[in-house]
Amino acid sequence: MSAEAEVKRVMPWPPELLDDPNVRSPLGPLGGAVPPAPGWFAEAVGQEPERSRFELEGAGIELLCWGELGKPGLLLLHGNGAHAEWWSFIAPFFAADHRVAALSWSGMGDSDWRPAYALDQYGREALRAIELAGLDRAGPPQIVGHSFGGLPTMHLFVEHPGRVGGAVLIDSFIPRPGERRGPRPSGDGPPAYPTPEAALARFRFAPPQPCENLFIADWIARRSLRRADDGWRWRFDPRLWANMDRTGADTLYDRLRRPVHAINGDRSLVVTAEQNALLRELLPSGSRIVEIPNCAHHVMVDQPLAMVAALRALLD
């Protein structure tokens, strides 16, 4: 069974989305050209981060930082198959008041791949990033996790409460015991593409969705590619989920003792209306949930400025 057939079989995504050419290839009509971007975006990505790498348990981890040391810390954690650059047009909005950092998980972005992955190991990657970025100099930092990034966010919040000041989940719903969420592909992933333009034409979001802000999709897609011996490939380990140990994930909600806030898209296929209602029951008293209109799962892509405003309010 192909990876796409497995996606159709496992995930409750509307079939018409997978068959829509604007969803299957949002950047295809551009033919490799860079789409025009508004001034706010150009100004944000023009604030180049401090770039570094650190070693943890045999893997090099990519780390990006913005803002001055000594200011309140803010750690941004990306989702599955993504990378730290997904935050490069969001982080600068917080750099005036925070020391901000984003890492690429091992197996993703410009970080090294591992033979196997584990939730507690991702927690150690995040804790090391907090130390090296100096996010804890003004006290325990706040952590924001998008999609899969919400899983290590909750893990840190529960297992290391003294190291985390607050947590915000962005369109992230952690399965309860017995639930299966998402395919677990174990193959070699998509084939290599002969040119970057060919790869860009195949870029699409998961779960599938249309994209009006093509300048963001293009920015993310170009930084998701790496040059390989046989062409151009995506910068994530296709075997990651088949080699992932999620021990402890199913009981995270039960062990929460402090409020956890959430920002969700009103059209999300990950945090549906039913799961939004369940979140209100599962999260501790004092937790706030903000739903952003006209927004699917990738909130920072669909409504970046609205997400910045909502996140600022929750962090304050």
Q: What is the DSSP string of 252-279?
A: TGGG--S--EEEEETT-SSS-HHHHHHH
CA distance 234 to 225: 5
Mapping DSSP to helix (H, G, I), strand (E, B) and coil, where does residue 55 land? Answer: strand
Residue 21, pLDDT score: 82
Residue 13, pLDDT score: 58
Structure tokens at 304: 């970046």
Task: Report residue 224 CA to chain centroid gap.
Answer: 13
Residue 181, pLDDT score: 52
Considering only CA atoms, which of 246, 92, 258, 235 is closest in space to residue 163?
Answer: 258
The pTM assigned to this predicted structure is 0.93
Residue 224, pLDDT score: 97
| pLDDT band, very low/low/confident/very high, at 303 (cuts 50, 70, 90) | very high
Q: Give 197-249 pLDDT, tens digit per residue.
A: 999 999 999 889 999 999 999 999 999 999 999 999 999 999 998 899 988 89
Fold held by 3-28+51-175+188-315: Rossmann fold (3.40.50)
Q: What are the CB-based long-range contacts (under 8 Å, 24+) for 275-281?
A: 275/173, 279/173
The answer, yes or no, to whether the previous bond of 207 is cis (omega within 30 of 0) is: yes
| pLDDT band, very low/low/confident/very high, at 179 (cuts 50, 70, 90) | low
How much is the average pLDDT of 257-261? Answer: 96
Cβ burial, residue 75 (10 Å; 0-12/13-18/19+) = buried
pLDDT over threshold 70, residue 177? no
Mapping DSSP to helix (H, G, I), strand (E, B) and coil, where does residue 95 land? Answer: coil
Q: Give 33-44 pLDDT, tens digit per residue.
A: 999 999 999 999
